[in-house]
Amino acid sequence: MDSTPKQRILYVDSAPFSGGAQESLLTLMEGVAVRGWEPLLAGADHGEHGLLARCRQRGWRVYELRTSHWRASPLGVARLGLDRLAAGRVLRRALAEAEPALIHANGVRSGLLLPGGARGPVPVILHDRDLRVPRLALGWLAGRVGQVLAISRCVAAKWHGQVPAERLHVVPNGFDLGRLAATPPAAGLSPAAGRVWVALVADLEPWKRHDVFLEAVAQCVAAGADLGALVVGRARTPAASRYLHRLQGLAVTLGIATRVRWVSTAASALPWLAAADVVVSAALAEPFGRTIIEALALGRPVVAVNACGPGEILAGCPAATLTEDTAAALAAGIREWLSAERRNAAVGAAREWAARYERTAMLDSICELYRATGREKP
């Protein structure tokens, strides 16, 4: 039996709630654990089914952080400063107790929690999942991290000129496709014969452009299509709840209120993706597009604005339609998939395209980077 102790990796995640970035991180941690590393987590999601709880269930050591969702305002900057002070104490303790070989910061915000001098001789990898990041933050981080992992080319682009090319790596998110494909559809949708259910699955943030999605649905209905619209997203803040209320008012104004199903409290969006006939991405600044891969893995066609992550993922995909950024263009894209025959014919192509993002490729790339980084002097 090999008694060599496993090398530890300290994953740092600043989010006080779980979203796509945390799901992707958990997939990564599960994979590297199988490949011989010991994952540790310093995380801020204290929810009953949050990232900290799920890591504990897997028997991994965790360190609790307390952070807020910082806004781009003087108050947000002040809150970041306070959170960094508190996180610094926790992270120094984690480094002293666990002696990890690497620090893996999950996102730019997590990288900002690492105080100067906290990492000592431990190399830092920053896993960048964001497009909208202040340039000042990039400059501050560029000299404090060893390697930058970007989830798409559009995310990587903002680092050009900030870090040398040999320190910048594009590694798309990976997925457990077998688990995804086995997702049962949510129950309770209208049984109206012939109705096509079109879904937008995204947190309730204005940049996701739910309003454009609703306008596109209304245009399809006005043209004679029998559509039902699924709006699936969490209202995690008072601002998100107000945004949801505005969207519900817009649905009334557009005359489609009875056709819209609002799902804002579901534990998982996957059953709703499985229940949809067509999945839509309307955002202009989507860094990757996790729900796009999930939809394809479930055999669902996708209609998306041809920008950033979705544009990269879906270029040439026979189970997708890329459109311009207007409601009219999205409506035209949706109408391409109203035929059940065409949707059924695209199931195999959708799953084959999703297979490009099976987690093995992500794990191969990141584990090789871990090995190379561990051999370097920080």
Task: Provide the CATH number for the domain around residue 156.
Answer: 3.40.50.2000
Average pLDDT over residues 129-133: 89
- Is the same domain home to 137 and 273? no
- Is the same domain home to 187 and 308? yes
Cβ burial of 201 (10 Å; 0-12, 13-18, 19+) is buried
Flag the least confident range among 114-118, 254-258, 330-334.
114-118
Residues 6+ apart with CB under 8 A from 80: 70, 112
| SS3 call for 43 | strand
Instruction: Identify the band that residue 2 occupies on the pLDDT scale cut at 50, 70 and 90.
Output: very low
Q: Treating both helix axes as pointing N-terminal to C-terminal, what angle do 210-222 and 238-254 enclose, rounded to 10 degrees?
A: 20
Residue 3 lies in a domain: no
Residue 4 above 60 pLDDT?
no
pLDDT of residue 377: 45
Whose tokens are 């999942």? That residue is 129
Instruction: Identify the band that residue 266 occupies on the pLDDT scale cut at 50, 70 and 90.
Output: confident
pLDDT of residue 116: 67
- Is the same domain home to 98 and 170? yes
pLDDT of residue 120: 60
CA distances from 234 to 70, 100, 238, 302 (A): 18, 35, 11, 21
Instruction: Identify the band that residue 190 occupies on the pLDDT scale cut at 50, 70 and 90.
Output: low
- Is the same domain home to 276 and 200? yes
Residue 2 lies in a domain: no
- Is the same domain home to 308 and 366? no
Q: Tokens at residue 164, please?
A: 């040398």
pLDDT of residue 3: 43
Residue 263 above 90 pLDDT?
yes
Residue 96 above 50 pLDDT?
yes
- Per-residue pLDDT of 169-185, as tens digits, reads 999 999 999 888 889 99
Q: What stretch of H or E contains 211?
A: helix 210-222
Nearest-angstrom CA–CA distance, 162 and 17: 29
- Is the same domain home to 91 and 185? no
- Is the same domain home to 108 and 192? no
Residue 12 lies in a domain: yes
- Is the same domain home to 191 and 219? yes
pLDDT of residue 376: 52
Q: Which residues of 251-264 are buried (b: 16+ CB within 10 A; e: fewer)?
A: beebebeebbbbbe
pLDDT of residue 375: 54
- Is the same domain home to 107 and 201? no
Specify the number of domains making up the chain: 2
- Is the same domain home to 253 and 164? no
Q: Tokens at residue 14, please?
A: 């600043």
CA distances from 111 to 1, 107, 245, 318 (A): 37, 6, 34, 38
Phi, psi (rounded to 5 degrees) for 12: -115, 125
Cβ burial of 96 (10 Å; 0-12, 13-18, 19+) is exposed
Flag the least confident range among 8-22, 40-54, 58-72, 353-367.
58-72
- Per-residue pLDDT of 63-85, as tens digits, reads 999 988 777 677 777 888 888 89
Nearest-angstrom CA–CA distance, 28 and 9: 11
- Is the same domain home to 70 and 124? yes
Q: Tokens at residue 267, please?
A: 């534990």
- Is the same domain home to 31 and 144? yes
Instruction: Identify the band that residue 192 occupies on the pLDDT scale cut at 50, 70 and 90.
Output: low
90 is in which domain, residue-wise? Answer: 8-174+358-375
Residue 286 lies in a domain: yes
Average pLDDT over residues 107-117: 84
